[in-house]
Chain A
Amino acid sequence: MNDRIDPHRLDALAPQASEVEAPPKPGTTKTAKPAKTQVGYVGQSVPRANAKRLLQGRGAYTDDLKFPRLAHVVFFRSPHAHARLKKLDLSRAARQPGVIAAFDGRAIADYCTPWVAVLGHLKGIKSPPQYAVAIDRACWQGEAVAAIVAETRAQAEDALGHVVAEWEELPVVTDMEDALANRTVIHPELGDNICFARSFETEGFDAAMKKADLVVEETYGFGRHTGVTMESRVILADYNAAEHSLTVYHATQAPHMMQDIFSRHLNIPEANVRVICKDVGGSFGIKVHVYPDEMATAALSVMLRRPVKFVADRLESFLTDIHAREHKATVRLACMKDGTIVGFDLDDLTAIGPYSVYPRTSGIEGNQVVNLTGGPYAHKAYRAKMNVVFTNKNVTCQYRAVGHPIAVALTEAIVDLAAQKLGMDPAEFRRKNLIADDAYPYSFPSGLKFEKLSHHQCLDKLLALMDYTGLRAEQAALRKQGIHRGIGLAAMIEVTNPSPAFYGVGGARISAQDGATVRLEPTGMVTCLVSVTEQGQGTEGVFTQVCADAVGVSIDKVRVITGDTGVTPYGGGTWASRGAGIGGEAVLQAGKALRANILDIAAAVLQVDRATLDVRANSVVDKASGEERLPLAEVGRIGYFRPDTLPMKFQAELTVTRHYTPREYGFTFTNGIQASYVEVDTDTGFVKLLRHWCVEDCGTVINPLLVDEQIRGGIVQGIGAAMLEECLYSAEGQLLNGSLADYLVPMTGDTPDIEIAHVSTPTRQSELGAKGVGEAGTAGAPGAVMNAINDALAPFDARVRVQPFTPERILKALGKI
């Protein structure tokens, strides 16, 4: 580690040690070549600046904003999953106290054009035009068909009761297989119910599979669930007719994407649209999509020439926030007697509701399942078939770990089954098949390219961390006493830091690059504006650390600003585990450039060779001795107020902007492995999650505390998917559990202790070396839990294959009911 440490730098920081939490010793081993960044705050668990404010209740969310003449909109939503609107009479509602206006879909369509969510690189994907407020027909229970705007939310809700609607119910398609059979076509103009299909086969697939000694096959089901954010969706749109400008306060992950979309669909020049994110209370992918009711809110602000706010209440969240998953997949694994995997064969079916979601499309999740299945292993043969179908349920789209939890669970379950059939230990079976740590760069059969992964290091570390051998002994001993515990492993790869290959190449106006502007203030403070957004995950804290190190200042000198298209550089925002890796690199490069510019001024002022100077701990110092030469406040004073004292041709540049786009690889893959230890009560079918482990390689760990919390939170969401969460629909397409009383999210009391360790293989595409980590926990947990439960059930010759693993399903598998 020595080459990373600048002793002067550490000395300079020493007096401030009390401000920085003692760096915990996470199981971090820097085995790979370290990144070239100078070490200071990067790598330490620095508490993030906004945590205190949020904990003290001083967060300012969009819903907290008070505007003069603020109007509130509520939506009249279809009670039916599929129905034609025979009559809609808003006149009584419009006359209710406080009501400002009531509009149907046609009226709103005059101000907001519809959209079609397809992407060029998803060949053949199709979807019908979708309107901000549906016209004539509703395609899922909860789809808005009218908007009512009133002085208060309560008045608007009162008026909802006075909307008169007559419906003619249409045939409903809720089952995926029914949808695929096309007996009832939801959008007749599209010809069939297939939104997107993809198939793929490596050369010589059949021949390779035929040579295998063993082929195992199973079909798995994954419930439809959703991301439950603490802050619900909220938007406040403020149209200014005098300027023909629109300012939108929006709980979103992608303000620039939304700026473009508001501009195009409301026909307002992009320069006149500004999107501002206040504090955002969790997103998980829920807040990166275009929602019809939010577009309608923006249109209503234009129509009414006043600020209009929409807050999804919790019941609306369940009906309209994107859902995710809902897959049924059959997977086959072929292997040799010695355990060598020959190939995987996948057939995946997934249902997305009646529309592909704009602008990212709902084809991505299925596409990811195809891309990632079998991901950690060194087989050469792969065949995949995938159908994405329309149904009359709420739409689905990208939610934390998009496709990964499905791909990982499928892969890891079938891997365990193969190991079981061969009588091999599942850890050994994986060791035999995981791509070797020295095999990189590596081309995976589905076409993915891996820069450098560390599967074997992670496996070894995990087995040691959890005391795998000891646990197996304990499991065997307890089994004799009738206590049924199981151990489940799940290796994984994860897409992070995507290049333009993800969306841009398909024609989506979604930025794959991000930018940072770093400015030295006259006081010596540093302001850092970044296009990546803060959703509560601590991005701003990470940028603060990177910026402080890059410029050479203490962390209290840095202010980070995100989430304002009128202020920050242009960029993609927060999704696909890209914030730290892409935004962080932009901050690093901008900070380094500012440091260089600071040195230029100092060299001019001090009349010394620039190479003899450095910036450390808020001052320009003599590089060799560390002696202070010029405090940054002095650099700022001269640069801004006394440039007359600088040489004639010299212009101080104390604001710099840098951008970063990953280009070399389509995605910067990370890898990791999780393990779950469970106890199944075989009388009741209840599962107790005893412990959970994760070893993850996200490259440079910028802030161990934040990284570990990302993994923990992600694992808990993955546990939710495996054990609890499912949006249940009746055959008529009615959501049966659309409230927090009935839809079960995991709670702390039922969450096992989660132990985390790291292997660090920094990406060499960037100087920072950080890969993403936001989704790894969610990606791997369901597979690990599934394998653990099935391991516990093994003595009964029982297996569960459909998530979530309810007591009912486990009792059925055990033959108890």
Chain B
Amino acid sequence: MKPSAFAYARPRALEEAFALLDKHGENAKLLAGGQSLLASLNMRLAAPEILVDIGAIPGLDGIAVRGQTLVIGARTTHRAIERSEAVAKHAPLLAQAAPHIAHVAIRNAGTLGGSLAMADPAAEWPACCVALQATIVVTSKKGERRVAATDFFKDLYTTALGAGELITAVEIPCVEKGERHAFLELVRRRGDYAIVGLAARARLKGKTLSGVQLVYLGVGVTPVQAKGAMAALEGKTADDAAIRAAQDAIARDLEPNADIYTSAEAKRHLARVLVARAVAALVG
């Protein structure tokens, strides 16, 4: 398991990176934490000519609050997000989800931007970003553009990123008063990619839910918003009847693919279990 030969560049500025991407086109790959990319090189699933390491480009990492927005640099590691007080305060969903991502050693290296660019349908960050209605900031030599997380994940391992573009940051609306977050995930071993996971978010007034977001991971080719279940809970008191309605809607919302260990039917069942648990967590 040795990668085929590749060149390596470590640009010091975004412009340099864009120039390299321009020059090498398809044959260049951005390298962030390397936690997904290097494994695929070693397994010879990918054989780029050049790796463009974004590790030395200033301004790509860090966590900041700008007004009502939490801004997280693309190169911020999973671990930094996990340990950030600002994240815990303004986007508790991310703080809850972070410990589910792999293991500490991997979280120390893996990055938010890398995870979103990978777009693994069982990964935590993509589902969280959709649930939080985050905006992905994408930059190229032509400048910056902003893509809503809901529009970012196109297909299996496929995103709205175009040639020559890289993710520079993610903008997340800060949590509002009365807003609750819950992140649940079923894995057979701690740190594995989710069999089924759920990023849930709602405002709670008394026991009434509004602004409900239920975004599943591990059940489709992208993060999946369970729109029927969201509607079933919207404006409702979080009681058994509402939960049952949401569970029933799940059957229509999700078309999960089986994985090697879990059938589509089992995934759908687990998704139903999770929605009930998520509502309990949101109102609990």
Contacts and interface: CB of A to CB of B under 8 A. Distances in A.
Nearest to A749: B190
18 contacts: A314-B1, A315-B1, A315-B43, A723-B188, A724-B189, A737-B260, A744-B189, A744-B192, A747-B189, A747-B191, A750-B189, A806-B188, A807-B266, A808-B262, A811-B266, A817-B263, A817-B265, A817-B266
Given A158-B5, A808-B263, 19 more contacts: A154-B2, A157-B4, A313-B1, A683-B273, A686-B186, A686-B188, A737-B260, A744-B192, A747-B189, A749-B191, A750-B190, A806-B188, A806-B261, A807-B186, A807-B188, A807-B266, A808-B261, A811-B266, A817-B263
Interface residues of A, number: 31
B210 to A, nearest CB: 27
Contacts of B273: 683-684
A301 to B, nearest CB: 21
Contact of A742 (B5, B260, B265, B266): B260
B12 interface: no
B207 interface: no
B195 interface: yes
A808 B189 contact: no
A417 B1 CA distance: 48
Contacts of B260: 728, 736-737, 742
A736 B258 CA distance: 13
A746 interface: yes
Contacts of B65: none
A816 interface: yes
Given A684-B186, A749-B189, A816-B269, A158 B263 contact: no
Nearest to A157: B2
A314 B190 CA distance: 21
A332 interface: no
A754 B93 CA distance: 35
Interface string B184-208: 0010111110010000000000000
| Leading 3 A-B pairs by shortest Cβ distance | A154-B2, A313-B1, A749-B190
A744 B195 CA distance: 13
A153 interface: yes
Contacts of A816: 269
A811 B4 CA distance: 44
B43 A154 contact: no
Interface string B1-25: 1111100000000000000000000
Interface residues of B, number: 24
B154 interface: no
Contacts of A315: 1, 43
B270 A684 contact: yes
Contacts of B266: 685, 807-808, 811, 817
A167 B188 CA distance: 38
Contacts of A749: 189-191
B89 interface: no
B10 to A, nearest CB: 22
Interface in A739-764: 739, 741-742, 744, 746-747, 749-750
Interface in A358-393: none
Interface in A748-795: 749-750
Contact of B269 (A724, A806, A811): A811
Contacts of B188: 686, 723-724, 744, 806-807
Interface string B259-284: 01111011001100100000000000
A807 B262 contact: yes
A817 B267 CA distance: 10
A344 B266 CA distance: 36
Contact of B4 (A154, A684, A750): A154
A441 B188 CA distance: 45
Given A807-B266, A808-B263, A811-B266, A158 B4 contact: yes
Interface string A196-236: 00000000000000000000000000000000000000000
B44 interface: yes
Which one of A154, A736, A746, A808 has the highest number of Cβ atoms from chain B below 10 Å of its Cβ?
A808
Interface string A685-704: 11000000000000000000
A816 B190 CA distance: 24
Contacts of B262: 806-808
